[in-house]
Each structure stands twice: as structure tokens, then as C-alpha cells.
Structure 1
Amino acid sequence: MAQPVFHYDTHSVFNQPAPLANYNAFEADTILQYWINQFGGKHGTERLTKFGHHIGHELQEAGFLANRHAPQFETHNRFGHRVDEVIYHPAYHQLMSHAISQGHCSLPWTSEQVGEHVVRGAMAYLHTHADPGSGCPLTMTFAAVPAISVQPDVAKRWLPKILSGIYDGSNRPWYEKEGVTIGMAMTEKQGGSDVRANTTRAVPVKHAGPGQLYSLTGHKWFCSAPMCDGFLVLAQCDDRLSCFLVPRWREDGTKNPIHIQRLKDKLGNKSNASSEIEFREAHGWLLGEEGKGINTIIQMVALTRYDCMLGSSALMAQAAKEAIWHTAGRAAFGKPLHEQPLMINVLADLALEAEAALAISLRISRALDNLNDPQEAALVRSATAIGKYWICKQAVQHTYEAMECIGGVGYVEDNVTSRLYREAPVNAIWEGSGNVQCLDLLRVLKREPDTLSALLAELGKARGHYTDYDQALETAIADMADTDNLEVHARRLMEQLALCWQAATLIVYGEPWIADAFVSARLSQQKFHHYGTLPSHIDAKAIVMRAMPGSHFSKPDPSHKQETK
């Protein structure tokens, strides 16, 4: 890579790598290309190539601008009218428009081509490279489709606009727009993840029942992307938790009384306007039957959790790429930094973790493309909780380690790694924290025996290749049988299942030498808690070259593969 030298009166600036910029983010990602091809998304190559070009060029700069110029909240206009409007920098609208026009929110719902969830998953992954924050309203708009479809009369009016591929960020009634976005407001102060503790009340405006208008009164501690055109909301109908679609504007053209109290000043996710709101007799349509709110909205939550997997996988991949790119253009202690054995070990470990995360995320994409298969549908119900728990937690330490590889330059706001690190905790907390994922998995496995069978069948495909894998799987199965202590040890079980699932996916679908490296590094008896501890027999340099943006390399022939018993 080019390393320009700048001369000043006091010193010359050299040994500073050029930024990873002005490139095609899809064409430069050998690993992403491999996995979309493995899981049936090869037909989307042309679309993704076009998408990746914009991500690596003008949208990269748009991401910096959207995070530097945070959303601004205006309660009233200059004439004193309450407007509850959030003003975004034009770069935010640029990011949203590009993603929606390319099918980020609509592709799997509008195309009958098998593999569109995989292609759309790759889009979500690439969009995160430009800006994770705007991914929040994008994923909610995408994920709202199954929940809104529960109510056909409401769906008939809203879905054509949701799926239009048109972005309209103007502040006007939804029915005047060709394209709309959807947000979500579930969390309340007293309940958090325990939505059954919600106190927001809903009463019929005229008539009760599915598809009818209700009046909602209450608060929501978190409403993400408050300038969306409609929101999925949980509220109590005579102590029966129910789901509603609440528009930002009423049918008569007046503003629906959804009052924004403030925007959250968050650790990260700066481009996204998360808010605290109050409903003051706001109108919304009941989706499904009263008391069936959890059943309705869980269809949305399942997909947003899946997108958390994709988003955190993307953070890790981008962090690894930035670290590899930077060290490839910098010398330290007498030779190029990326040729130092210890640095190579760290970089390879980061790349290996990022690839395993992407592999299981796109494995869920493929399952979503085949929901007519009961086995695949059951796998989505169990494995999404495992992936959401594990990948989102791993992203925090992973992005920090990548930032450390870059050093002080990586810690300043002008470098993308500081944003990745601040962004990393979000997906682990939102859409159900770690403990919630654990409890959800235990409930599913207990109440739906078919889901356990599907999960074990998926993991069983990898048996017989590695002794360490077979032993790890047997340990996990034995721990699941200890029902007396299952909840106490739920996190340990989640980690065991996550590692087994990542290993199984790499063994069955991945490059053999990558699977070999992962099993050796993650499932051997001697495991370490920090990156940079790969066994010496692993070809760490080849793993780094595989992850180098735009690299072309020859696959190694692993000679230290474990023998099966």
C-alpha cells in the first residue's frame, strides 16, 4: 500500500499506512464471497458488487459524517407548535436511501429466488461497514414484515410501502409517502426485558378486535429511530399484553400524540436516534388478537436478533481488516509489523474469530431461506439465541484487540476502530441481553423437543472428523441432561454450544484448513482467554492473508490435522 511521506519544519511523517478507503468492500472480502457462495447466494454477486462499491467509497465518508453530526431533537417549531422532530445530517439519509433502494429491507419478501436471505444478510453485513447506527431502523423495517402480516387488512395498506424500495425521510403522514420505515417501542422503565411488566394501556377508539384502532397511553424507555413512520408497540388490553402498529401521523392528518421526551446520550450507536417517549392517547391498530402480543412481536424480535448476529459479525470482520491493513503498512522493531510472529498470531486469531461468526450468521440466513423445511425452521428457533449470545459478546473484546493492534492511532475518533469498539456492546444488550438469550434457549429446548433434535442433528453432521470436537459435543450434551442445574450453568452451556456450532459449520461447510485451525484453537483441552494464542502448527500467516482486504493467496495444505479416534 502507498505510504506518502509528508515533510514539516520539525519532522517528516512516515511509516504511517494509508487508510483502508476507496475500495469495493465486497470484492475485497474473500471470506464473505466464500460463505455466500456456500449458502446459496452466489446469484447475488452482481448486486453485492455494486453495493460493496458504494460502501467502500462515498458511504464510508457518509458513515463518518453521520456519526460526527449526531441527530438533533426539536420539540417545537418556531411558531410554538409541538413537532417532536429529529433532524439528521444529510449523510444519514444518504445511507438509508442507498440501503433501502438496494433491497436491504425488502429483498427476501419480494423475490422468489432461493437464497435471497443470504444475499440480504450480506447487504446488512456490508452496510455495517459504513455505519452500524442506521442499520437499526433498516433491520426493524425488514423484521416488521412477518409481524404486520399477522393482520391482513393492516398489511394490505402498509406492506406495499415497506417493500417499495423507496426511502422518504420527510416528516409527513405515512399515507402520503411511497416508502416508509418501521421502528419498535417495547421497553419500559420498570420492566426492561420483562415486557410482561409493561404498564402502557390500550383501549378501543370505537370497536375492539383485530385490525381496529385503539388509544394508547403510557411510556417507553426505549424507542429506537423515532422518525420512523410506524412503530410496533406492546400495550395492555385489560391486562392482556397485545401488539399494535402505531403510526407517527393519524389518519386525519394530525400528529399522533407520541411525545419524545429526549434522545438518549449513548456510549455508541451515535448516528441512530434512540429516544424516550410517551403515548398520550396515541392511535394504533391491533395486530392479531388481544393478549397475543408476545406471539405477534416475537416474529419481529427473532429477525432483529438474527441481524444482531450479522451486525456484530461485521464489526469483528471490519476490526480484523483494519488491524491487518494497518500492520501491513507499518514497520516496527526493524521489520514490517505484520511479519512479526507474535503480531501474526494475534491478527490470525482475530480473523479466525470473525470468520466463524460470519459462518454461523449466514447459516441462519440459509435456514431462513428454507423455512418450509421443519428442520431448518427449528434450527432458527434454537440457534439464533446461541449466535446472538455468543457473537455479540465476543465483539467487545475482539474490537478492542484490533484497536490495540493499530495502537494510539486506532484510539482516536478519526479511525474507525474507536467507533467499532463503542458500538460493540449495543447488540449484546439490545433485543434481549445475554441472560435473556440463555433463558429463551432453555425454554425453547424444554417446550419444543423438535428444536433440540434439529440442533443436535446440525451439530452431529460434524462428528467423526476431530476428536476434540466429538468430545466437546458430548460434554455439551451431558450438561444439557443435568436439568437440576441447567439454569445456573446456562451461560457455560451457551458457550459450549456456540463453539460446537461454529466448529461444526466450519467443518461441514468451510475450508478444511480453517476448520482445522478453529478446532485446534477453540476446542483443545488447553484454551486461553485472549487473542494471539494460536497453536504453533497453525499457518497463521495464511489465515491473515485470507482476511487481508483484496488479497489473493494459495490455500495451505495443513499437515497437522488431528486424527479421528
Structure 2
Amino acid sequence: MPATHEVTNQVPPVIGRDLSTFPALLEGLRREGAGWAEQEVRDLGLRAGGEQAQTWSRVANDHTPVLRTHDRYGFRVDEVEYDEAYHQLMRVALGAGLGGTAWASDRPGAHVARAAKMMAWSATDFGNLCPVAMVYAVVPALRTNPELSAAYEPLLTTTSYDPDLRPPEAKKALIAGMSMTEKQGGSDLRANTTTASLQTDGRYRLTGHKWFTSAPMSDFFLTLAQAPGGLSCFLVPRVLPDGTRNAISLQRLKDKLGNRSNASAEIEYDGALGLLVGEEGRGVPTIIEMVNVTRLDCSLWAAAGMRTGTAQALHHATHRKAFGDRLIHKPAMANVLADLALESEAATTVALRLAGAVDRAARERRTPDVVAVPDCPGR
């Protein structure tokens, strides 16, 4: 190779590092009552930083989901194809208990342990974390309907991953999605125009267009529609108990800036079967219970992103040379890195304290009333 192509003064890749070896993360884990999970967090952090998981992350982000509306014979199939790398990330995440398993545990600190593992696994591609977060967050909302909760919760609190298209009752694990936003209303959910018509058999049929639906290959969606008693929340399965498809059409996938390995779609309900969750007219308060819990994961991801960025900056400054010395030895650079580390540790501490508050509230409310994420104590 010609000397002009010799590579020097470049930073080695960040591969093979335990991404949980962060004092604020492990200290927060112990402080909030989940020190028993430290080895699990370390094991997952090491896997997240490994070459295999990092390769899956790159491939899943490069090979984005593909919508297949029809098969070769002209029949509608409404399926989204994901790269196998995405499925591998999902298997590890759910297998590590990042789904709904904490809700089924009586062990103190279960939600904190999950939070710490979520932060460790966040060093992979963020696309797999969205459906995983919704599996976790949907459990409190379903508990407003004891019958639905009894049927679905055991399949949401498992460590399995089952992406096959089958009726929920025939699967070993479920993925949940949310379908709220409409183009004329956006975040003004009460402006939604999707309708839910009550049938003589006591079930509802939904008709309308949803502008944004997360994880369209989920096994069911919590969705909002206008019922006779007002805006209400419904569980809409993708496959009916007899194995036929529910009347849900995928119109297109969203062309997103980020989170690209996970699909988001516009969908159409054309008389789709919906099961009432909560009371008629209480749709927003019911689905907000799911939304509220996803905010915990949003906080965890933000803190984890700050940590990953800080770790990358420290790694770069440690190896890169400029003006006769390594960057980390330059006073101005060291000040910047110190500020980043301080803010990252603060964010991690706050996020785990919030997870601890959720954990304490969940243990105090072993009833179907587990709802909003509470404030941190001492706030």
C-alpha cells in the first residue's frame, strides 16, 4: 500500500467495552434498592458494547423496514419486513427483561433493575427500544380492564420474543403499539374523528385514518376513537381469534430522521374490531396511563444518550493527538469533558431516582390502579 494511504492518529473503535461500568449508574442501582441486579446489568452492558450487538445495530439502521401491502397474487397482506439484525436486538432486549417483566415481579427494585438494564442496552440502535418500551408501558393501561389484563398481561410480562403473525391467544409473547395521532388534530387528541360503532354483540367496529402509529407489526394497538359515549380507548388486535386479519390497512411507512430501524406507519381502520379499555368517554385518561409510563423510558434514553456521547468524547480525546499531545491533556478540552461527565452523571442519577419512585409506587399499588409516573421524592 502506498505510504499516502497509511492511517495514523485515528481513534480505535469502541468495541468490547462494558457499557454499564459507569459509577453513577451502578451507584444509583444500589441506592434505589436493586443492587441485586448488578451482575445482570454488567452482563447486558458488556453485550451491548460487543462487536455482535454493534453490528446488529448498524445493519438494522442501514436496512430499514420495507412495507409489503400485497402479495404476488394481489391479496392484501399489510406486513412490514425487518432485517434479521432488528429481530436479534429485540430478542436480546426482551430476553433481558426490558419488556413488561417488572410488573410481574414482587421483588423490590424490579423497575429500577429494568431501568438500569435499559440504559446499558441503549448503547445499541434505539429503534428496538421503542416497541420494547411500549410492551412495558401498556400494562398499567390494560389493568383498567381486568378481563383484558388477565388475558394479555402474562404475554407482555414474559422474556420471549415472538414476531410471527398469529392470534394473540396462540402466541408465547406479544408486542404492543399505540395509535392515537390524526392529521387534523396532532396532539389535540379530542379532535380525533375515527369512530367506534357499538354492535349488537357488544363489540365495537372502528373506522378512520391514523396519521402516526408506532411499531405497526405489533400484535395489538391501543387506539382512540369516538364512541357513543365520547372519545374512548380500544385494544385493536392485528389478528382475530379465528386467524383472519383485522380490518387494518397499512397505507405507508413514515420517512423518519431517526429511529429508522423501527417502522412507524399511517394506518386505516375499515370496520376493525376494537375491545373497549376503560370506560366510554375516558379514552384520553386511559391511554395516558400508557403514555405516562413511556416517559420514564424517554428519560432513561436521554440520560443514556448523554452517557454514550460523553464516553465517545472521552474515548476520542484519549486517543487523538493534536498540537503535540493527546487531546485529553489539553486544559480547554479537559474542562469541556468534565462538564459533559458532570451533566451525564446528574441525568443518570435523576433518571434512576425516577425509576425508584415508579418501583415504590408499583409495590404500594398491587391493584389495577397503577397509573401515572409519580414525582421523585424530595422534589
Match of 1:323 in 2: 313
Match of 1:22 in 2: 16
Q: Does 1:186 align with 2:183?
A: no
Is the Cα contact below 8 Å between 1:367 and 1:379 reproduced in 2? Answer: no
Match of 1:51 in 2: 44
Match of 2:109 in 1: 115
Mapped partners of 1:19, 1:126: distance in 2: 18
Sort the Cα spacing of 1:332 and 1:76 in 2 relative to 1 into closer, same or farther, 3 A.
same
Q: CA deviation at 1:173?
A: 2.4
Match of 2:357 in 1: 367
1:320-358 per-residue CA deviation (whole Å, 9 max, x = no partner) reads 111111110011111101111111111111111111111
Equivalent residue letter for 1:220:
K
Mapped partners of 2:233, 2:150: distance in 1: 17
Is the Cα contact below 8 Å between 1:234 and 1:244 reproduced in 2? Answer: yes
Q: Does 1:67 align with 2:61?
A: yes
Match of 1:219 in 2: 209
Higher alpha-carbon deviation: 10-19 or 260-269: 10-19
Equivalent residue letter for 1:44:
A
Is the Cα contact below 8 Å between 1:63 and 1:131 reproduced in 2? Answer: yes
Aligned with 1:240 (options 230, 238, 244): 230
Match of 2:199 in 1: 205
Task: Report how many aligned residue pairs link the two structures.
Answer: 373
1:428-471 per-residue CA deviation (whole Å, 9 max, x = no partner) reads xxxxxxxxxxxxxxxxxxxxxxxxxx6xxx14xxxxxxxxxxxx
Match of 1:256 in 2: 246
Is the Cα contact below 8 Å between 1:185 and 1:222 reproduced in 2? Answer: yes
Residues 266-305 of structure 1 mapped to structure 2, 5 A cutoff: 266-305=256-295
Q: Does 1:307 align with 2:320?
A: no
Sort the Cα spacing of 1:207 and 1:295 in 2 relative to 1 into closer, same or farther, 3 A.
farther
Is the Cα contact below 8 Å between 2:357 and 2:374 reproduced in 1? Answer: no
Mapped partners of 2:364, 2:66: distance in 1: 46
Helix, strand or coil at the partner of 1:271: coil
Which of the pair has the greater relative contact order for Cα pairs under 8 Å at 6+ separation? 2
Mapped partners of 1:373, 1:99: distance in 2: 27
Is the Cα contact below 8 Å between 2:167 and 2:242 reproduced in 1? Answer: no
Q: CA deviation at 1:381?
A: 3.8
Q: Does 1:132 align with 2:122?
A: no
1:409-444 per-residue CA deviation (whole Å, 9 max, x = no partner) reads xxxxxxxxxxxxxxxxxxxxxxxxxxxxxxxxxxxx
Residues 394-433 of structure 1 mapped to structure 2, 5 A cutoff: none
Is the Cα contact below 8 Å between 2:292 and 2:372 reproduced in 1? Answer: no
Is the Cα contact below 8 Å between 1:244 and 1:287 reproduced in 2? Answer: yes
Mapped partners of 1:185, 1:249: distance in 2: 16
Aligned with 1:342 (options 319, 332, 345): 332
Helix, strand or coil at the partner of 1:279: strand
Q: CA deviation at 1:164?
A: 2.0
Q: Quick check: which one's strand share is greater?
A: 2
Mapped partners of 1:102, 1:86: distance in 2: 25
1:55-82 per-residue CA deviation (whole Å, 9 max, x = no partner) reads 1112121111110110111101112110
Unaligned runs of 5+ in 2: none
Match of 1:99 in 2: 93
Equivalent residue letter for 2:268:
E
Sort the Cα spacing of 1:205 and 1:165 in 2 relative to 1 into closer, same or farther, 3 A.
farther
Match of 1:34 in 2: 27
Mapped partners of 1:149, 1:138: distance in 2: 18
Residues 1-12 of structure 1 mapped to structure 2, 5 A cutoff: 8-12=2-6
Mapped partners of 2:60, 2:371: distance in 1: 39
The TM-score normalised by the length of structure 2 is: 0.94
Q: CA deviation at 1:379?
A: 9.8
Mapped partners of 1:178, 1:341: distance in 2: 56
Q: CA deviation at 1:378?
A: 11
For the pair shown, the structure with the greater C-alpha radius of gyration is: 1
Is the Cα contact below 8 Å between 1:36 and 1:42 reproduced in 2? Answer: yes
Q: Quick check: which one's helix share is greater?
A: 1
Q: What do you get for the CA RMSD once the two structures are aligned?
A: 1.8
Helix, strand or coil at the partner of 1:191: coil
Sort the Cα spacing of 1:8 and 1:303 in 2 relative to 1 into closer, same or farther, 3 A.
farther
Q: CA deviation at 1:296?
A: 1.3
Match of 1:497 in 2: none
1:467-497 per-residue CA deviation (whole Å, 9 max, x = no partner) reads xxxxxxxxxxxxxxxxxxxxxxxxxxxxxxx
Match of 1:148 in 2: 142
Mapped partners of 1:193, 1:50: distance in 2: 39
Helix, strand or coil at the partner of 1:183: strand
Match of 1:162 in 2: 156
Helix, strand or coil at the partner of 2:112: helix
Higher alpha-carbon deviation: 250-259 or 113-122: 250-259
Mapped partners of 1:174, 1:314: distance in 2: 33
Sort the Cα spacing of 1:309 and 1:274 in 2 relative to 1 into closer, same or farther, 3 A.
same
